[in-house]
Amino acid sequence: MVEVKLHDIGEGMTEADINCYLVKPGDFVKADDPLVEVQTDKMTAEIPAPRSGVIKELLLTPGQTVKVGTTLLIMEDSSGGSKTVELQKVAEAVNSEAPQADAAVVVLDRPAEVKVPVGVSARLGRILASPYTRKVARENAVNIMEVKGTGPAGRITEEDILAFVKLRDHGGASTSEAGSEQQVPNISKYASEQEVPNVSQRASESKAPNVSEVGSEVKTAAGHETVGKSQDILPFRGRRKQIAKKMVQSIYTIPHCTHFEEIDVSELIALREEIKASGNSISATAFFIKALSIGLKEFPVFNAKLDEENESIQLLREHHIGIAVDTPEGLIVPVIRNVEQKNLKQIHDEMKRLTKLALDDKLTVQDISGGTFTISNVGPLGGSIGATPIIQHPQTALVSFHKTKKRPVATDQDEIVIRSIMNLSMAFDHRVADGATAVAFTNRFAQLIENPKLMLLELM
Amino acid sequence: MKTAVQTKTLTLVQAITDGLDTMLSESKEVILLGEDIGKNGGVFRATDGLQEKYGEDRVIDTPLSEAGFVGAAIGMAVNGFRPVVEIQFLGFIYPAYEQIMTHASRLRMRTLGHYTVPMVIRAPYGAGVRAPEIHCDSTESLFTHMPGMKVVCPSNAYDAKGLMIAAIEDPDPVLFLEPMRSYRSSRGEVPEGKYTVEIGKGKKLTEGDDVTVIAWGAMVPVAMKAAEDMKQKGINCEVLDLRTLYPIDKDLVIESVQKTGRTVIVHEAHATGGTGSDLISLINDEAFLYQKAPAERVTGYDTPVPYFGFEDHYLPTPKRVAAAIEKVMKF
């Protein structure tokens, strides 16, 4: 049995907060595997395993503040060696000078590696946050250094912490990942409108009125002035503000060019009916995604990342396609990974799974990060015939599908027929690609959708 | 304590007279001393009619010597009396400062508890009544620094009488600050007979979640007015009347500040070394992690209280308090 204790990991620290355990009881760990992440007032560090063995018991809960010398967890030697043997082995392995009497209790004396979470190094320094915000962070086991502040002068606000927690609890994945890669649903105007009711709801829950808004005269959308009526005002902070920030970043960084196309989906509808008759059902969006993926193989420039610093455009081989999902909590963009390796059924199933998770508010950070291309299917919402989708920086393109309508169409034989036509809007980064390429790309997409059997050729 | 059911509507200064009257009639040990408090009834008529009622031996006109009659009162207190002295204005207390700080406040400790000094020092104080220089000083924190002295400050008639009786009954010296500006500015229902308001206990005047506003004496109506104005803007202030400046009602302050996370302190004394500083330290000690914004102080300025032409510019106003509230809310 080995008790792993909190040791002084530098600068004469006397206590640390437990951020999270990286292992659970029953886990087998090798020597130097990280066991628990702690945070002192200066840094975040991982306490490594003094030796290999099986985790027996975690003694603390995240958020607790403990003194140096406190036992963090208990490990068991996987060989099940007796305590006495353990004594010696451990004493030798870890600290040859450890007094025998204390050796059952292993306190690492050597300086541990001090690891700063990814993406945080640049922000080492003063973190602006009120004590109350820090308290909220502590209570939610949030490392405040990983949170991006939206308050005055970049101050972290209570709302930032809560938004961070919400994002993290979507998946419970490493917080640093969530922090460094803010996932903001990147969907044009429509997305913003969708978000509004949620934000106002949050505002009504929030206790403290925002003075900057209350009390000042505000012109409402309708143009009339209201004085101090908080119900007419939506707070602009938290997630809404994050979205705004992302939008501004995207629209100011990326020269957006939007290109529109009409696609005849009549054949696709017929094919889906056929498939349905056989007892299977594949959504139209799954076909769109597959067709896009096929197109992206031929026009990889739209599945790319511009690296201005290194003056290069990285063409990404993997097609991780984000799909905007309208949930009661707001718009969220889960990512179907490796679409290029998936068949239609797999894409369909994955999309269904992610949509359900999104609706149940159970998406993990993994589920919503790493997209390389994004689609937004606004067709089911009806109405729109075109849009200017705002690209999810640093991606290169985003495609919106609009409502399918039956329309009279002139054929090559100069006959007028009724066909099901869907509009498509494609926004792309004009730095990376030109209009001609975009047209070629959507033409290829249209070809595959207008004659879905062509997709057979692409079967793996 | 008898529970009085009958009440009368009194001004703050009348309530003080009523409190003194009540105690004079109840206990022969209660003696009043001060300049012109007898025949003249005191500068502000706080002792009006009491000499006539209780005689020259109980309500004593003293020579113009603060050190003299405060010192005499200390001697009387040690020997079984319960003297109440009137300093005409708090700004005139400095000649007696030596008596207060080196004797009244320390005798209990110096005699290892054998003697206490059950005396009350009444002192009208504060600006806003167009009085000349020195008459308007608000130097309460000179007296809260020395352990042994209790310092109370009512803001309304009910508290004035209750605190006065509690102060006279208290075994230790109590500095009883009377906000001149509030003497006759409002009236309140005051029970007849004897009742007390506990020394060391503040009072929550309004409930609110957004910000705690702490005031005492003449600043209470100012704080209340600001809180009222804020309410129309959707900000709910919790106004606390501290009532006792030493010992401060820590529980009341901390509980409120932990709830709201924001604090505005209003006092007319100078900012430097003022009781507001102590309150902020207290909040730091006990409620640091609850703070959403740094506590704000709305105070007089670090100058002597100016001549009356500028008094209004010196004193905190509801507007200044409102600005501070908005500041902590916007932080």
Quick: pLDDT tens for A382-411: 767 888 888 988 899 999 999 999 999 998
- Of B210, B233, B291, which has the smallest distance from its Cβ to A215's Cβ? B233
ipTM computed for the complex: 0.71
Pairing of strands B59-61, A321-323: unpaired
Determine whether the interchain pair B288/A131 forms a contact, defined as Cβ–Cβ distance below 8 Å: yes
Q: What's the rounded Cα separation, in Å, for the pair A109 and B30?
A: 71
CB B157 within 8 A of CB B46: no
> What is the set of active-site residues of A?
430
Q: Where are the domains of chain A?
A: 1-80, 107-203, 239-459
Q: How far apart are CA B64 and CA A309, in angstroms?
A: 85
The answer to whether the beta carbons of residues A20 and A176 sit under 8 Å apart is: no
| Closest residue, chain A, to B237 (C-alpha) | A208
pTM: 0.52
pLDDT at res. A335: 94
| Exposure class string for B160-176: b at 16+ Cβ within 10 A, else e | bbbbbbbbbbbebbbbb
Q: Give the model confidence (pLDDT) of A77-100 as tens digits.
A: 755 444 433 434 444 444 444 333
pLDDT of residue A91: 40
- Which has more pLDDT, A459 or B147? B147
How many angstroms separate the first and last alpha carbons of chain B?
Answer: 47
Pairing of strands A312-315, A304-307: antiparallel
Q: Residue B72: its pLDDT value, please?
A: 98
Q: Do B235 and A211 touch (CB under 8 A)?
A: yes
Mean per-residue pLDDT, A433-459: 92
Closest-CA residue of chain B to A152: B331
Say what the pLDDT of residue A208 is: 41
- Residue A403, exposed/middle/buried by CB under 10 A (0-12, 13-18, 19+)? middle
Phi, psi of A134 (to 5 degrees): -65, -35
Q: What is the reported pLDDT for B240?
A: 98
pLDDT of residue A12 exceeding 90: no
Q: In chain B, which residues have pLDDT < 50?
A: none
pLDDT tens digits along A225-236: 444 444 667 767
Model pLDDT for residues B289-323, shown as the tens digit of each residue: 899 999 999 999 999 999 888 999 999 999 999 99
pLDDT value at position B262?
96
CATH number of A239-459: 3.30.559.10
Q: Are A148 and A166 in contact (CB under 8 A)?
A: no
Average pLDDT rounded to a whole number, residues A34-53: 80
- Residue B308's H or E segment, with its range, is helix B308-314
Predicted confidence at residue A98, as pLDDT, reads: 37
Is domain A1-80 in CATH 1.10.1040.10, yes or no? no
Cβ–Cβ below 8 Å for A215 and B291:
no
Q: How confident is the model at residue A27 (pLDDT cuts 50, 70, 90)?
A: confident
Identify which of A130, A132, A211 has the shortest CB distance to residue B330: A211
Q: How far is B18 from chain A (nearest CA, A)?
A: 44
pLDDT in tens, A324-354: 887 766 677 899 999 999 999 999 999 999 9
pLDDT, residue A78, reads: 58
> B234, A209: Cβ pair inside 8 Å?
yes
- Candidate ranges A40-44, A200-204, A311-315; pick with highest mean pLDDT: A311-315
pLDDT in tens, A269-311: 999 999 999 988 999 999 999 999 999 999 999 999 998 888 8
pLDDT computed for residue A169 by the predictor = 80
User: A187 with A333: CB under 8 angstroms?
Assistant: yes
Q: What is the pLDDT of residue A171?
A: 55
Nearest to A132 among B210, B234, B291 (CB): B291
Chain B positions touching A209 (Cβ under 8 A) are 210, 233-235, 329
Which residue intervals of A95-213 are DSSP H helices?
131-139, 158-171, 175-180, 188-205
Q: Which amino acid belongs to residue A205?
A: E
Report, as an integer, the average pLDDT of A197-210.
39
Instruction: Look up residue A440 and give its amino acid.
Output: A
How many angstroms away from the CA of A16 is the closest CA of chain B?
Answer: 17
Check CB contact of A89 with chain B, cutoff 8 Å: no
Report strand pairing: B120-125 vs B174-179. Answer: parallel
* CB proximity list for B65: less than 8 A, separation 6 or greater: B95
Distance of CA B12 to the CA centre of its chain: 12
End-to-end CA distance of chain A: 53
Give the nearest partner residue to B289 out of A131, A158, A211, using CB atoms.
Answer: A131
Report CB contact under 8 Å: A131, B290.
yes
- pLDDT score, position A42: 57
Look at residue A231 in the predicted model and tell me its pLDDT.
60
Separation of alpha carbons B301 and B136, rounded Å: 13
Residues of chain A contacting residue B290, judged by C-beta atoms under 8 Å apart: 131-132, 135
Cβ A132–B210 below 8 Å, yes or no?
Answer: no
Q: Which residues, including other chains, have CB under 8 Å from residue B313's CB and lie 6 or more apart?
A: B306
Residue A273 pLDDT: 92
Which of B269-272's residues contact partners 24+ apart within 8 Å by CB, and which partners? B269/B138, B269/B139, B269/B140, B269/B141, B269/B299, B269/B300, B270/B138, B270/B299, B270/B300, B270/B301, B270/B302, B270/B303, B271/B297, B271/B299, B271/B300, B271/B301, B271/B302, B272/B302
Residue B314 · residue B301 · CB < 8 Å: yes
What's the DSSP call for residue B101? I
Which pLDDT score is estimated for A315? 93
Interface residue ranges in chain B relative to chain A, Cβ cutoff 8 Å: 209-210, 232-235, 261, 288-293, 326, 329-331
- From CA A138, how far away is CA A65, in angstroms rounded? 9
**Could you tell me which residue, A84 or A442, shows the higher pLDDT?**
A442
The highest-confidence range among A192-206, A370-384, B186-200, by mean pLDDT, is B186-200
Residue B84 CB neighbour total at 10 angstroms: 27
Task: Tell me the count of A-B CB pairs closer than 8 A.
Answer: 48
Angstroms from A160 CA to nearest CA on chain B: 14
Question: Chain-wide mean pLDDT for chain A?
Answer: 76
B326·A228 Cβ contact <8 A: no
Q: Cβ neighbours of residue B251 under 8 Å, at least 6 residues apart? A: none
Give me the residue from A135, A158, A230 closest to B234, CB to CB: A230
Strand order in the sheet with A335-336: A256-264, A416-429, A397-410, A373-377, A321-323, A335-336
* Residues A166-191: tens digit of each pLDDT: 888 875 444 443 333 343 333 333 33
Amino acid, res. B76 = M
Confidence (pLDDT) at A384: 79
**B286: alpha, beta or left? (left if phi > 0; alpha if psi -120 to 50):** alpha
| pLDDT above 80 (res A442) | yes
Domain A107-203 fold: Dihydrolipoamide Transferase (4.10.320)
